[in-house]
């Protein structure tokens, strides 16, 4: 395995770990919201009881939505093969440019591997859209700035 593919694999594993953390947080939030709803005791002030249960249900629903999104991200990321070398900028590509290094996968932000900075970004971001389908030596334009593709793995 070349150094670049090792770095790509490390970034991919970091992204998977970040999404797993998000999934765990959402699941914990849903459990806490359910426990909160279950622990609401019926008092003589019935409206207060109903309001408390409704608030807990809203919180649970919010976590359920976030959990669904996190699971979609995880599936999308899990479908990418970090060992596959790309010849153009596309999902799963590790892209070195003159303005930064990017892993087109899911948006988890800045990742530092062996003192090198990479950004895991979604292919749907404006930056990714400006370089998608480009090959080595080609240039994309993002916010009025040229971004030259130096290397793709």
> Whole-prediction pTM value?
0.84
- Domains of the chain: which residue ranges? 3-78, 94-152
Mean pLDDT of 15-32: 94
Question: Residue 111's pLDDT is what?
Answer: 96
Could you report the per-residue pLDDT of 43-87, keeping only the tens digit for each?
A: 545 555 577 777 878 888 899 999 999 999 999 999 999 999 999
Task: Find out whether 11 and 92 touch, Cβ atoms under 8 Å.
Answer: no
Q: Which of 6-15, 48-57, 123-132, 141-150 has the lowest average pLDDT?
A: 48-57
Between CA 123 and CA 1 the distance in angstroms is 25
pLDDT at residue 6 is higher than 50: yes
Q: What band does 9 get if pLDDT is binned at 50, 70 and 90?
A: very high
Question: Residue 32's pLDDT is what?
Answer: 87
């Amino acid at each position: 395995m070349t150094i670049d593919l090792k770095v790509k694999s490390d970034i991919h594993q970091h992204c998977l770990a970040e999404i797993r953390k998000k999934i765990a947080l959402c699941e914990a939030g849903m459990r806490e919201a359910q426990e909160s709803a279950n622990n609401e005791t019926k008092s003589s002030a019935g409206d207060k009881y109903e309001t408390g249960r409704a608030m807990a249900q809203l919180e649970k629903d919010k976590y359920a939505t976030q959990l669904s999104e996190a699971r979609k991200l995880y599936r999308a990321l899990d479908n990418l093969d970090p060992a596959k070398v790309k010849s153009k900028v596309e999902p799963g590509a590790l892209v070195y440019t003159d303005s930064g290094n990017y892993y087109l996968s899911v948006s988890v932000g800045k990742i530092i591997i062996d003192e090198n900075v990479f950004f895991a970004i979604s292919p749907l971001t404006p930056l990714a859209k400006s370089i998608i389908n480009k090959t080595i030596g080609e240039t994309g334009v993002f916010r009025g700035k040229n971004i030259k593709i130096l290397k793709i793995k």
